[in-house]
């Protein structure tokens, strides 16, 4: 099942679905990434010129993707922190959907998660909303955007929403956890492993998700809301 992951920033997919992506590519599933922004508002070191951040974050996401078996990574270049679900963004996403032609899309849940506010960055909500609008009705409607008339319309079968409320689909990623961790450690400009606590935090979060899914003690999981869109 060809899968397209659409996220707001570099590293979003690795936090939200890295273990799932690793398990899918191990099964031979083709996965591509579309990152809406360059992550230009990220980083922690003021000595690094802001103009260098996009290239750094591109390289980090490409390296992280390879850790999970993903080779195709597209960047749309929208400005970090200023994303809205505009028609222009819907056109950009519809173009990518028609080009990649995925059966499944993974993206941010456009509903705010009040239990874990960090999952509901405004860019996440905007990208999730724009992606759902691009899936239905934009990408499947051949008359939606004249500027995309050269690309055949495409209907996506399902969307997996990460980071929000209402999870109803879980993936046991215990066996792919180390690859998820390795992918996150590629994002060195974000200092994701400050103090060596990244692994402990991930295990805590993912153990709680596994418990929610009803998995036995000691298992790790990622959760999604699965929406049938065909």
* 158-162 and 104-108 strand pairing: parallel
Give pTM, 2 decimals.
0.97
pLDDT, average across residues 28-47: 95
Burial class (CB in 10 A: 0-12, 13-18, 19+), 67: buried
CATH number at residue 123: 3.40.50.10320
CA distances from 175 to 70, 131, 132, 205, 223 (A): 18, 30, 30, 16, 16
Tens of pLDDT, residue by residue over 132-153, are 999 999 999 999 999 999 999 9
Residue ranges making up the domain that contains 68: 3-228
The pLDDT value recorded for residue 24 is 98
The rounded percent of the chain whose pLDDT value lies above 70 is 99
Check: CB of residue 214 under 8 Å from CB of residue 205. Answer: no
pLDDT, average across residues 14-35: 98
Distance CA 144, CA 2 (A): 24
Distance CA 42, CA 23 (A): 28
pLDDT, average across residues 71-82: 98
Structural domain total, the chain: 1
Which backbone phi and psi does 127 adopt, to 5 degrees?
-65, -40
Tens of pLDDT, residue by residue over 100-135, are 999 999 999 999 999 989 899 999 999 999 999 999
Check: CB of residue 105 under 8 Å from CB of residue 97. Answer: yes
End-to-end alpha-carbon separation of the chain, Å? 14
Residue 230 has pLDDT above 90, yes or no: yes
pLDDT, average across residues 197-207: 95
Question: Residue 165: which pLDDT band, with cuts at 50, 70 and 90?
Answer: very high
The pLDDT value recorded for residue 192 is 67
Distance CA 184, CA 179 (A): 9
Q: Which two tokens stand for residue 195?
A: 């103090």
Tens of pLDDT, residue by residue over 60-75, are 999 999 999 999 999 9
pLDDT, average across residues 78-91: 98
The pLDDT value recorded for residue 194 is 65
Distance CA 216, CA 166 (A): 21
């Amino acid at each position: 099942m060809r899968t397209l992951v659409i996220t707001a920033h570099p590293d979003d997919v690795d936090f939200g679905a890295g273990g799932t992506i690793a398990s899918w590519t191990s099964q031979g599933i083709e996965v591509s990434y579309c990152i809406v922004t360059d992550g230009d508002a990220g980083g922690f070191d003021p000595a690094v010129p802001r103009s260098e951040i996009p290239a750094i974050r591109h390289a980090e996401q490409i390296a992280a993707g390879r850790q999970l078996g993903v080779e195709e990574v597209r960047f749309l270049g929208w400005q970090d922190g200023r994303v809205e679900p505009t028609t222009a963004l819907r056109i950009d996403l519809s173009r990518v959907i028609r080009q990649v032609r995925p059966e499944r899309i993974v993206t941010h849940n456009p509903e705010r998660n009040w239990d874990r506010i960090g999952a509901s960055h405004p860019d996440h909500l905007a990208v999730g909303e724009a992606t759902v609008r691009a899936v239905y009705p934009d990408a499947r409607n051949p008359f939606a955007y004249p500027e995309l008339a050269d690309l055949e319309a495409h209907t996506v079968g399902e969307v997996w929403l990460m980071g929000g409320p209402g999870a109803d689909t879980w993936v046991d990623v215990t066996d792919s956890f180390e690859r998820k961790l390795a992918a996150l450690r590629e994002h060195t400009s974000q200092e994701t492993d400050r103090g060596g606590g990244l692994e402990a935090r991930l295990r805590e979060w993912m153990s709680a998700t596994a418990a929610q899914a009803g998995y036995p003690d000691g298992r790790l999981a990622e959760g999604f809301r699965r929406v049938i869109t065909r």
